[in-house]
Structure 1
Amino acid sequence: MAKAIEFISVCKDFNGKGIVHDLNLSIEKGNLVTLIGPSGCGKTTTLKMINRLIEPTSGTISVHGVDISRIDPVELRREIGYVIQQIGLFPHLTIEENISLVPRMKGQRKDVCVKRAYELLDVMGMDPAVFASRYPKELSGGQQQRVGVARALAADPEIILMDEPFSALDPISREQLQDEIAKLQAELQKTIVFVTHDMDEALKIADQIVLMQHGKIIQQDVPEQILRHPKNDFVRQFVGEKRFAQAATRATIEDAIVQAVTVRPHRGIAECIQLMRTRRVNGLIVTDRSGRYLGVVDAMRVLGSFADEGATAATVMDASVPVIQPGTDVAPVIALLQADGHGFLPVVDGEERLLGAVTRGSVLKLMTPTGGEVHEDAAMASV
């Protein structure tokens, strides 16, 4: 694949202090590459050298095979999209004018620029009829950042640079924009260099991850290989392998048990559907009056029997679903969850009384204890 960006023996010093040391890096056309590392590792400096906002002290940087030192910096920047954390929208321009700015500076007709701005607003999930004539101060932070991305795309650049663009946003807006970037990249196949300090963000969006420390590249690879084969202790610590290993060592299946949504065997199919709908689950555990486990009712079994008004939870349940004991090791439970199509397993005591359930989400949360909330687990209910 063709190289979009190449660093050859690049160094950068500030006031005699080395920030980037002998950097050699090739970024292939159409890839989304994240530069990640602790504060002061040189990732933002590396990014800004691509569009000559910072000039290297030595070495060569090429874009599409051309040494950028031979390109006028202003012309270079007009050919490269740029998105920053502070967004940088012009407050006195409308949203449409902000997005259209670079195409207009490049001499495109006004009607073409307006059309492009409307198209990009639509792509970013912002109704042009509502947002095009507004001003930046009238938008939320997440909306402003979407406009920033749209502006970077307006001139249809081959390369886009993104410097921690989502770090100041709330978690929900940040996740939404990460999804948008991943979706756009799949559709447009731009070359994107994305600076972040968040490994979860890098793993989610990147084709390649470049992990830096003290101005040097420590490891460059696809996310899967960095997770599976970290080069040294620094990489292991940064990606969290130690945390995962420690969690696995300490983990017992008791810590992954969540409350289950249960149903009595005599309840009808319509009642099962209503319970699954209101509790937002795709399966119920059938128990008798004393709380003994009987079987599992999933959505497909319920829907398949809906026409039978005499059907009950007992007549449609699957009694072959494997059950586990509280003392079971985590590894075999993971294997059972992978093999079972329901996504959860009942946990019972020695007398087959239901203690709860383990789900794919609860086991994942157990193995990654600093991870986010798991939404598939449900509270105990009984009808």
Structure 2
Amino acid sequence: MTNTAIQFIEVSKSYEKNPIVRNLNLQIPKGKLVTLIGPSGCGKTTTLKMINRLIEPTTGRITVNGEDINRVNAVELRRQIGYVIQQIGLFPHMTIEENITLVPKLKKEDSTTFRKRVEELLDLVGMDPARFRSRYPRELSGGQQQRIGVARALAADPSIILMDEPFSALDPISREQLQDELVKLQNTLHKTIVFVTHDMDEALKIADEIVLMKEGVIVQRDVPDQILRHPKNEFVREFVGEKRFIHSSLLSKAKDALTKAITVSPMRGLAECIQLMRRHQVNGLIVTDQQGRYLGVIGANEIYAHYNNEGLKAKDVMSKDVEPIHSETPMQDVLPLLNGRERGFIPVTDQTGKLVGVVTRASVLNVLADTLMEEAEGA
């Protein structure tokens, strides 16, 4: 049984004499999230749309789960493949429930399962079914609408999902939240996802594999860590970006001085860890599991000591000796711990062991300064 979900065999697409995709040979493994990325006009969206026959190739052959897509009715093919686009495409006159169940209804699936499926999917994308199932798209924010777009793509339980720059129109905060949600979903569902983006930060964050394209051809295809370690040529280096390569009585508890923790999956490579640290200008990362529970800490010392071993992941080199503190820990107990730690930060967890942030020397000083200023003004 082949592990390939989608295969391009000598596929080209031209409009008149203008080649968009040139002799593409590409295998996309089952259960992986693969990003197609490159500058505008590189052929990434055309490549995506050829998978569900929204665009027909000029030459070559494409197979989905081993079957030539030209032998499958185009409409039936599209109903078997989830599709999420930037414009979302929700029907404004339909409720959220009706939007989500559209494809299963078209496939004439058992209607008795629809209601349960809607509840499962809304829960999956972090939206309360009781609050949202009867609403209309106009009553939702852009980020909420895009979550519904993802739920709709999952409704018929397709093995393959195509995503064409789905988050690019959102504000930065919503975009980052949805990227996090997508990674969590993929860790749970293990779908084959082909994701088009022009944002290398996004690709590095979400992808199992990155396919970097230029002028209709693949320039480099690899896992994020290897692209960061071994860019094939100057174009890749420029596209990736060289910079990626380095209180008083009121302040009573650890939660009062919390700051955002930069987290990393235990399965990410060491070059990715360095890129993440440089991007956020931090000297350490917190390793968490799929549920956000604290696992350990990884910093520059751990990375550089093991960097030459390309097979190692964050989980292999992280330190488990850094004990987290509870969010309700009194500050009088936090300060001595912080002063005695070389890293300059302490992970903070809730009662379930889930990471809620970190306390740093800077965050404590900031809150102390604000509190002292408030006290001086009130004196």
TM over 0.5: yes
**Equivalent residues of 2:30, 2:192 under 8 A apart:** yes
1:327-358, Cα deviation, whole Å (9 max, x unpaired) = xxxxxxxxxx4xx7758xxxxxxxxxxxxxxx
CA distance in 1, matches of 2:45, 2:366: 45
Shift of 1:3: 0.1
CA RMSD of aligned residues (A): 3.2
Between the aligned partners of 1:65 and 1:313, the Cα distance in structure 2 is: 58
1:236 CA drift (Å): 0.6
Check the 8 A contact 2:35/2:207 in 1, yes or no.
yes
The residue aligned with 1:40 is: 41
TM-superposition CA deviations, 1:48-77 (whole Å, max 9, x none): 000000000001111011111111101100
Query: Which of these residues, 356, 368, 376, is aligned with residue 381 of structure 1?
Result: 368
The Cα of 1:278 is off from its aligned counterpart by 3.0
Q: Distance in 2 between matches of 1:50 and 1:195?
A: 13
Report the Cα distance in structure 2 between the residues aligned to 1:186 and 1:86, rounded to whole angstroms: 25
Distance 2:43 2:78 in 1: 21
Instruction: Report the CA distance between 1:378 and its aligned residue.
Output: 5.4
**Counterparts of residues 24-103 of structure 1 (less than 5 Å):** 24-103=25-104
1:183, distance to aligned residue in structure 2 (A): 0.6
* Structure 1 partner of 2:155: 154
Task: Count the aligned residue pairs.
Answer: 297
After TM superposition, the structure 1 = structure 2 runs for residues 189-200 of structure 1, keeping only pairs within 5 Å, are 189-200=190-201
Give the structure-1-normalised TM-score. 0.70
| Partner SS for 1:117 | helix
Q: Tell me, which stretches of 5 or more residues in structure 2 are unaligned?
A: 261-322, 348-357, 373-379
In the other structure, the counterpart of 1:21 is 22
Equivalence for 1:3: 4
Q: In structure 1, how many angstroms separate the alpha carbons of the residues matched to 2:55 and 2:81? A: 15
Q: Provide, for residues 140-186 of structure 1, a one-character-per-residue CA deviation record: whole Å limited to 9, x for no partner.
A: 11111111100000000000000000100111111111111111100
Structure 1 segment 84-233 matched on structure 2, within 5 A: 84-233=85-234
Shift of 1:88: 0.7
Counterpart of 1:230, as a letter, is P
Rounded to whole Å, the distance in 1 between the matches of 2:142 and 2:165 is 14
Give the Cα–Cα distance (whole angstroms) in 2 for the partners of residues 61 and 302 of structure 1.
53
Larger radius of gyration: 1
State the distance in 1 between where 2:156 and 2:116 align.
Answer: 12
Letter in 2 for 1:138: E
Aligned residue identity for 2:179: Q
Identity over aligned pairs, percent: 60
* 8 Å contact kept, 2:255–2:327: no
Call closer, same or farther: CA 1:98–1:320 in 2, change over 3 Å: closer
Alignment match, 2:257: 279
Scaled by the length of structure 2, the TM-score of the pair is 0.71
Separation of aligned partners in 2, 1:221 and 1:300: 38
What is the CA–CA distance in structure 2 between the aligned matches of 1:303 and 1:187, rounded to whole Å?
31
Cα separation, 2, equivalents of 1:177 and 1:13: 34
C-alpha distance after superposition, 1:9-52 (max 9, x if no partner): 11000122000001110000000000000110000000000000
Q: For 1:52 and 1:81, locate their aligned partners in 2 and report how far apart those are by CA, in whole Å.
A: 13
Counterpart contact for 1:273–1:302, Cα < 8 Å:
no
CA drift at 1:133: 1.1
Distance 1:50-1:275 versus aligned 2 partners, 3 A rule:
same
Q: CA distance change for structure 1 residues 110 and 299 in 2, over 3 Å: closer, same or farther?
A: closer
- 2: distance between equivalents of 1:361 and 1:317? 11
Distance 1:75 1:378, change over 3 A: farther
How many angstroms does 1:279 deviate by? 3.2
Change (3 A) 1:319 1:53: closer
